[in-house]
Structure 1
Amino acid sequence: MRLPLQLTCDQSDPTTAHQWLFVDLPFSENQPYTPDVRLLPAWSQRVSDAGYLHVDQIRALANEDGYIHVDQLPKQRKRYRPPRRGQQHYLNTGDWVDMDAEDHEPVTIPDPALYTPHEQAVMAERMYHTGVLKRSEPEPDKASVGKARPVFRPGDHSPSTVNGYLMGVDDTERRRVLAEEMRGKKRQQILRNPQWKGL
């Protein structure tokens, strides 16, 4: 099917009168867009239904003195009615209706601050029920891992430091340190200390 041109579009037919407007629409940089020609009749009709006339159509209405009475102009037949609920964006579409079609009853969003505590609790419970609000899950018990102390090496310290260290630890650690001292420096100030006798 050939592209519609202004000269070939029948101005008396609203389904063809404005088809030529939609050829080579700006789309992206250096890339025009012409929609599928099967859409053009409905798009042309939409322009007519919205009350638009081309300047040549207006001139055709003028009398011999060049005047047009407003009663001669076409009336808008259709209007866009926004969606009843939800966000106002292009994925949430409304509909095109006759000019005298009734509007949707507006949906008002309640203000919880105006409700009693009991009513607020009921609203919150409904939010949990519908999944808008999530209930906090109890935290499972978790083992905590402390930072390990560096292993005490008696050979790196003086006898007095080793004896001081041994005073502050349990018998298991004392045995480990004394065994390491016996294998290492074997310092009598540590090994013969009466406090560690029997370990």
Structure 2
Amino acid sequence: MALPLQHECDPDDPATTFLWAFLALPGPAQGPMLVPVQILEQWSERLWRLGFRHHPDLQELEYQPPAPTGGHWLASPGQWVPRGTAVAPEVGTPDISELTIAQRTQIIAQLRESGELAHLVDARLLEPDQASVGTAHTTTPLGADGDGGAR
């Protein structure tokens, strides 16, 4: 099911006419709909500010759905913005091969600072590889004693 956008809702159908107004309501973001009185008051104010006075020209806000790359629509509620606000252009992923070494270094520093690279091991922090003297395991040729296993 897609998000019910204003231009897609039938204004003559009571079951669908206001569906678009209930997207990304004030209150717990991405949480269950546990609605205390304070939140209901915010919803009431939102409906008033959306122009629900049977005068669409008084509508002050409009809904902008999440960008296609913003994740799943159920987890990315979009946002309400002042009416007439331009939709932000979608930001694409930069082509790393076209960046300078300095730009790549800045990206790596930002990823480290944000914790995005915390799961990786920095090779500079590892002990150098060193050989150690020990005893080697000996094996017998396959079939010599019947099992060919290590001793």
User: Shorter-chain-normalised TM-score: which range?
Assistant: 0.3 to 0.5
TM-score norm. by structure 2 comes to: 0.39
Greater length-normalized contact order (CA 8 Å, ≥ 6 residues apart):
2
The structure with more helix, counted as a fraction of residues: 1
